[in-house]
Structure formats: structure tokens, C-alpha cells
Amino acid sequence: MASGYRLILFDIDGTLVATGGAGAAAWKLAFDELHGIPADIGQFTDAGMTDPDVGRKTFEAVLHRAPTPHELSQLLQRRLEHMPETVAASTGYKVLPGVPERLRQLSRDGHLLGLVTGNIDGAAHIKLQRGDLGRWFTFGAYAGAGMDRTAIVREGIARGAAIVGHELAREEVFVVGDTPLDIEAGHAAGCAVIAVATGHYDSAALREAGADHVLETLEEELPIG
């Protein structure tokens, strides 16, 4: 391989932290304030979806029409406004097992760490802030309207290459996530995927979805040698 270090791109929800429903609570407040409906996103969306897709699908389900671009952006903004309070108040918020120690070890070993997440930028940082995890990530790629998770991973790779100053061979890049959508996106971008069974899917489901490696938690060493 061209270098001793790796570019390791991490998902957030179910991989690094569990927010204990803080994101859903913020969505509910946003829908209630803007449209008079305290919508439960869990009825209409799946784990691993991007924030814009969650907002759009929930809007369509409860209001029976597609949101305009302005309505969707307003919904995302209002939800973001409430997230610091819902994350701070969540009794179920937790940093997942082994995460701080593993991020520190990978950083100290010289690997470049980034985020590839279905969260919009602000939501990602709020979720990481409570767990004091933002310090380990040099850059991130976040969800935008119309972006699928593969596009987010490709943007993460491009941002990583910009940091190191040259293109990275795909065998130097790893995606770490907890859902079949993370696996699909990483493979579509040409990367190996390390799945961790700390989210909604157990190790058997992640293997069936085609993960290159499956860990029970990030207490285990990452197979990146």
C-alpha cells in the first residue's frame, strides 16, 4: 500500500453514539410548531436514512403531499434549533462501548479520521458535542438535499484526499457504520466496510448485508492492516 495510514470514515448514530431518541424528539417539536402535527418519524423512516429524506418522508406521510424545498429547509432548520435541548435532556444518550478509546488509538496511530453521516452538519456536531467526540475528526461529509449515502461517502473520500494532498487508493479507505445502508454506500464508493453491531442490526444481519468485517463493538480492534 502507498502509505502506512488509513482514511477511516465513521457514521455517527448507532456507530459512535446513541442519542436516546433526541433526534426524534426534535423532529416532533419542529413538525408541531410548523404544521400542528407532532409527527413520530419512527413510523415512517428507517435507520440509516439521511436527515433530508427523513424530513421529506415524514412530511409526505403526515401532510399527504411533498414538501416544497423551502418547507423542507425550514423543517430541518427548526429541528436543528431544538436539538441542543433534546440532546442535553436525553436520559438515553450514550457514547457507545469503546468509542473514545478507539478513536484516540486510531488518531495516535496516525490514521486520518472523518465523518460520513446522514445528519446535516449542525445536527452531527450537536450529537458529538455531548460525548466530547468532535476532537477526533479532521473533517466530515454531511447530508444535503438530494444526496444519497454513496454521494456522502464519495465526498468524504474527496475531502480526505484534499487533507493529505493526493488521491487515496480505495484499499486505504474504510467506512465504519452500523446499518445495511452504510454497507451499500461504502461498497458503491469502492471501499471496504467495517460494520459494528451497536445499532439496530445485529452481527448476523450485517454479515448478510455484505459487510467486509463485523465487530460487536468498537472495543474490538479495527481490521485495517
- pLDDT (mean) for 182-195: 97
- pLDDT (mean) for 178-197: 96
Nearest CA to 135 among 167, 108, 163, 166?
A: 108
Q: Compute φ and ψ for 59, nearest 5 degrees.
A: -55, -50
CA end-to-end distance (rounded Å), the chain: 10
Residues paired with residue 175 on neighbouring β-strands, in sequence order: 9, 193
189's grid cell:
464508493
Burial label for 84, CB within 10 Å (0-12, 13-18, 19+), is middle
Residue 2 has pLDDT above 60, yes or no: no
Place of cell 439521511: 50
Residue type, 43: Q
**pTM for the full predicted model:** 0.93
pLDDT digits (tens, 9 = 90+) for 202-212: 999 999 999 99
Residue 47 has pLDDT above 90, yes or no: no
pLDDT digits (tens, 9 = 90+) for 71-121: 999 999 999 999 999 999 999 999 999 999 999 999 999 999 999 999 999
Distance of CA 159 to the CA centre of its chain: 16
User: How many Cα atoms within 13 Å fall on the side-chain side of residue 209?
Assistant: 26
Percent of the chain residues past pLDDT 70, beyond the cut = 98
Tell me the C-alpha distance between 89 and 94, whole Å.
12
